[in-house]
Amino acid sequence: MAVLVFCNSCLCEPRTPTPRFCLTSCGHVFCEVCLQKGKKDECLVCRRACRTLVLSKETSPDIQSLFMPIDVLSKKYSKEISQVSEFQEKYRKRLIKYHKQKIAKLEESLKKVTQQIQQLQCCVLIINFLITSVPSRKQNVYSSYSLHSSRPSTSETMEAMEIDPVPSPMRKLETPTGPTRLSVITPPQDGRMG
């Protein structure tokens, strides 16, 4: 191991022949000799119940990393962090690309719907214009009735009766008995028939 390992009880360092060192679950390191002097399953420093693990090259990487120099450890983890960062960046880009495509489709749909609404509004305006400019159905019924009416207008009646507008005193007034001629079709008046 790269970092200096020493016993937390006798402060001895690894030597030849090297005694084995153990790590306790409470985070203390002891040599084999000190562990045999103390009580079994009890830490020599904090006196708590603990388990021990022998430190060797076969120890798990997580435990070995506790004894690695910081610069080596930072290089190791920076490489792992950069790999994780690259993965997450690719993942984010895929997600952003998906959302951009979805937004583009929605914007296109919105544009089409907006155009359809504008076309419908134009149609409504045209229909409203046509409704207001064309005479109503009632007016058409009355005008068709007057077209087919056989009653002559007052002016026609006056013409047909040949009445003198100024009566003479010598002349006996005649009572009109009816028009001398009848017209089935009346001439246009005020721009309308009937």
Task: For residues 24 and 1, give the distance between their C-alpha atoms in angstroms, rounded to a whole number.
Answer: 17
Q: Which pTM value belongs to this model?
A: 0.37
Which pLDDT tens digits describe the chain residue by residue (194 residues)?
456 778 887 877 777 666 788 888 888 888 888 888 878 888 888 888 888 888 888 888 888 878 778 888 888 888 888 888 999 999 899 999 999 999 999 999 999 999 999 999 999 988 988 888 876 555 554 554 444 445 555 555 555 555 555 555 555 555 556 555 555 566 667 766 65
Do the Cβ atoms of 3 and 68 come closer than 8 Å? Answer: yes
Q: Write the CA distances from 144 to 11, 137, 152, 175, 194, integer angstroms.
A: 125, 11, 15, 33, 8
Tokens for 70?
Answer: 């910081």
